[in-house]
A and B are shown apart, each in its own frame.
Chain A
């Protein structure tokens, strides 16, 4: 019946219409969280710890409260006591106790920037002055900044009550140990002709969204609260805030504002519960916006890590064994993405024998949050460098080595079950056949590197409604905050099913009271899962309209067909009817048409990407200039190709920044020293070339349109691709990110020999 428009020859899908929210975004009208104001609104600021690790002995805010214009101050005493165990909140498990301690430190501060108190005042300047008047007495403790220090016997302990499954009742900084294994690793290495063993370090990096965190909280005297904020997941903000505040979920409404980037960093809460607490205490709306320094010091970066990789191959280039040890900084509370990293690190390859040990370790740094394919980029930096070295030892082209060992449909994933249809090999072949890879790179100190990456992608819950208007156009309502153009894709899917143009469908992101539960915009899941809900909701609308058309024609529903946006009555010469013709008759045939669907996105299609990068290394300064970059990624199906390319380019740029420049600099006291965007050095447009894209479309069999989701995997290959390119340029294997000028220079000087020689000969 309603399958009519999706025969593989799409009219709307695969085209490039102007995004629906575009005009507002180029004219400055789009409303982001910090743009909201309400009558009588107060402004909040947060007092943050100047120490990495300390016991809070006392807090005195008498002076601050006396400052004219100050309306209220809250500390952790204003938070209810909550459960100290993992609880389901939406699709993500959280520990409400840890979340509460991160919102406002309870009895100790665990990182530089840890929130201690929050002030509401008539303007932000007064709130800031009040913050400076709060007196806190600390007992400073030694900071634990890296996983090796944190894991040492006798290390300073962050959480007295933290235990893991292996160490019994012993106090520890290791929150979790994951292990994955297959086959016989010792036998595997025995069969290997070449074995490469390397140790890697990656620095903690930030998602770097340009819009700081923000929230406006409005607590009403009837016990309900409304939160306006820029978030990737309004429903997560609702459930997390409810947990921390001890409020029922149904009493909180979250209105997602336009969001200025997130990349995983806006999937949790920082200011949202504070805005409600302060609003409750003052009776006024309260807005809080982080400064850039607060974003860097206290919102979720992703883990720095230490990784050891040992891999073996036979001389004909078959991978036979892998032994991996990895430890990720979780930040101040458990929950690094090391488990995900472990499940990604060798997943692109068929390896019969492996043992992977992975450790989640708490340190005196901000609690990490998701960052685009969380855990996978650190992991790939290590494994893809070792793969490159093995390919070289075997004398095989690095792309051919990957094609030879790469996973295909039916091969086992690291976690066990076999892959369904995937496009990894196709991404390798796309690079191999690209003008970039076929071109010859010439010149001194220049090199070309390739690397690949894997990310699971996610399904989870999504809801959608499709409303047919009286003029035959439609609106599509979802609960997925649009972070990179997804509204356009939702409108296009609706238009495809209804036989309308993309312009005839208006996409809307609704608040938590106006749409069914919809999980976070993350995991590359919006076009996949919310797209699936939209597809089904549009089909539901078509099904209802077929019944109405049959009423108009006095036929049975199965005597009416819908195709190309028109209804046809079987058998006689009645002229077809468009949705526009039918829409004015809705009220006489049974009322308005609203199609609905809710899905629990099964059939997730994993994502793969392969990236090729050319660099030139200045052997005198260690600076690495990127000359050319191409990425091939499997999208499954590109709904709006421009925004698919955009995800590939954006993720690549982040990966290149991660590889070359970005890092958190902590001093010996555990204080973050680069808290601005001049010193936390993200790529500018002078640092990057055009980023060429090859969109591979290996349809995901688990999705009606073949969609996989494209948001994340593009970030995974670049750091390793850069390391491999630097090796070919100057002969040194870089084992640490960022591969910044001082580190590259040091490696080049240490290596001496050929690199220096060729530079001298230049």
Chain B
């Protein structure tokens, strides 16, 4: 039951190796083994999106994947969103628009929003709401989150910072 598997993956640009049990989720592997606690556990059923990370460019609920399935993948977590000392435009806009209250859902929203902006640099409000519908926030009523994402999209179109920060 508890025999461990060696997994090799790229996490936030670094090659990492870790040992995990077959039953451990990717979320648990990130949080408890790699000590990347930015992704949060809200439900373990893929309903709240607080554990969202990007795997090979796609937004994924890390609670719905096993750690062993990460073998050979390229993972970005919220910890990898800012480049050295500089916040990603999404992070800055979330702060400027007061888009977080308790902040527990924020890492998941940031990753889902990044997934959207990578695909669609010019989203309208409906696009943003559709892309973020898999993430639950109970504090804000989403208003300031949607505004921040639209503003970040405009900012990235003007300054293109996201392209650099995305890697």
The chain A residues found within 8 Å of chain B, CB to CB, are 16, 18-19, 21-23, 25-32, 34-35, 37, 125, 207-212, 258-263, 289, 291-292, 483-485, 640, 642-643, 645-647, 649-650, 652-654, 676-678, 682-686, 688, 690-691
Q: Are B143 and A690 in contact (CB under 8 A)?
A: yes
Q: For A23, give its contact among B31, B40, B95, B96 (CB under 8 Å).
A: B95
The CA-CA distance from A677 to B78 in the complex, in Å, is 23
Q: Classify the interface of chain B: helix, strand, loop or mixed.
A: loop
Interface window among B67-75, B133-141, B159-167: B133-141
Most buried by A among B32, B38, B50: B38
Q: For A677, give its contact among B31, B43, B94, B96 (CB under 8 Å).
A: B43
Q: Which A residues lie within 8 Å of B119 (CB)?
A: none
Q: For A19, give its contact among B37, B95, B136, B139 (CB under 8 Å).
A: B95
Q: Which B residues lie within 8 Å of A25 (CB)?
A: 100, 103, 106
Min CB–CB distance B76 → chain A (angstroms)? 11
Min CB–CB distance A502 → chain B (angstroms)? 13
The CA-CA distance from A34 to B42 in the complex, in Å, is 11
Min CB–CB distance B71 → chain A (angstroms)? 21
Q: For B102, give its contact among A16, A209, A649 (CB under 8 Å).
A: A209
- Apart from A210-B105, A211-B42, list 13 A-B contacts with CB within 8 A: A26-B91, A210-B138, A211-B104, A263-B138, A292-B42, A292-B47, A483-B102, A484-B102, A650-B139, A653-B141, A682-B138, A685-B132, A685-B142
Q: Are A653 and B104 in contact (CB under 8 A)?
A: no
Q: For A28, give its contact among B39, B43, B100 (CB under 8 Å).
A: B39
Min CB–CB distance B67 → chain A (angstroms)? 13
Q: Are A28 and B78 in contact (CB under 8 A)?
A: yes
The CA-CA distance from A23 to B78 in the complex, in Å, is 12
Min CB–CB distance B20 → chain A (angstroms)? 12
The 17 listed contacts between A and B (C-beta, < 8 Å) are A27-B81, A27-B91, A32-B40, A35-B31, A125-B23, A209-B138, A210-B48, A210-B50, A212-B42, A292-B44, A484-B102, A646-B101, A649-B143, A653-B140, A676-B43, A685-B137, A690-B147
Q: Which B residues lie within 8 Å of A682 (CB)?
A: 136, 138
The CA-CA distance from A678 to B21 in the complex, in Å, is 28
Q: For B42, give its contact among A27, A210, A262, A485 (CB under 8 Å).
A: A210
Q: Are B48 and A646 in contact (CB under 8 A)?
A: no
Most buried by A among B36, B95, B103, B110: B103
The CA-CA distance from A204 to B18 in the complex, in Å, is 44
Given contacts A27-B87, A30-B103, contact A210 B40 (CB under 8 A): yes
Closest to A654 in B: B138
The chain B residues found within 8 Å of chain A, CB to CB, are 21, 23-24, 31-32, 35-45, 47-48, 50, 77-79, 81-82, 87, 91, 94-98, 100-107, 110, 128-130, 132-147
Q: Are B77 and A28 in contact (CB under 8 A)?
A: yes
The CA-CA distance from A169 to B9 in the complex, in Å, is 68
Min CB–CB distance A168 → chain B (angstroms)? 44
Q: Which A residues lie within 8 Å of B39 (CB)?
A: 28
Q: Are A27 and B38 in contact (CB under 8 A)?
A: yes
Q: Are B110 and A26 in contact (CB under 8 A)?
A: yes
Q: Are B38 and A28 in contact (CB under 8 A)?
A: yes
Closest to B88 in A: A26
Q: Are B87 and A291 in contact (CB under 8 A)?
A: no
Q: Are A650 and B37 in contact (CB under 8 A)?
A: no
Q: For A32, give its contact among B45, B104, B110, B137 (CB under 8 Å).
A: B104
Min CB–CB distance A629 → chain B (angstroms)? 9
The CA-CA distance from A652 to B38 in the complex, in Å, is 28
Most buried by A among B42, B43, B133, B139: B139
Min CB–CB distance B27 → chain A (angstroms)? 11
Q: Are A646 and B91 in contact (CB under 8 A)?
A: no
Q: Which A residues lie within 8 Å of B81 (CB)?
A: 26-27
Q: Are A125 and B47 in contact (CB under 8 A)?
A: no
Q: For A261, give its contact among B77, B95, B104 (CB under 8 Å).
A: B104
Q: Which B residues lie within 8 Å of A30 (CB)?
A: 103
Q: Which B residues lie within 8 Å of A26 (CB)?
A: 78, 81, 87, 91, 94-95, 100, 103, 106-107, 110
Most buried by B among A26, A31, A125, A212: A26
Q: For B104, give its contact among A210, A645, A691 (CB under 8 Å).
A: A210
Q: Which A residues lie within 8 Å of B140 (CB)?
A: 646, 649-650, 653
The CA-CA distance from A247 to B115 in the complex, in Å, is 50
Min CB–CB distance A264 → chain B (angstroms)? 12
Q: Which A residues lie within 8 Å of B137 (CB)?
A: 210, 685
The CA-CA distance from A32 to B40 in the complex, in Å, is 9
Min CB–CB distance B18 → chain A (angstroms)? 15
Q: Are A260 and B21 in contact (CB under 8 A)?
A: no
Min CB–CB distance A685 → chain B (angstroms)? 4
Q: Are B79 and A28 in contact (CB under 8 A)?
A: yes
Closest to A263 in B: B138
Min CB–CB distance A710 → chain B (angstroms)? 12
Closest to B47 in A: A677
The CA-CA distance from A259 to B100 in the complex, in Å, is 12
Closest to A484 in B: B101
Q: Which A residues lie within 8 Å of B77 (CB)?
A: 28
The CA-CA distance from A34 to B132 in the complex, in Å, is 24
Min CB–CB distance B30 → chain A (angstroms)? 10
Q: Are A260 and B40 in contact (CB under 8 A)?
A: yes
Q: Are B41 and A212 in contact (CB under 8 A)?
A: yes
Q: Which B residues lie within 8 Å of A640 (CB)?
A: 98
Q: For A688, give its contact among B21, B36, B138, B141 (CB under 8 Å).
A: B141
Q: For B95, give its contact among A18, A483, A676 (CB under 8 Å).
A: A18
Q: Are B136 and A677 in contact (CB under 8 A)?
A: yes
Closest to A296 in B: B43
Closest to B103 in A: A25
Q: Which B residues lie within 8 Å of A652 (CB)?
A: 141
Q: Are B100 and A22 in contact (CB under 8 A)?
A: yes
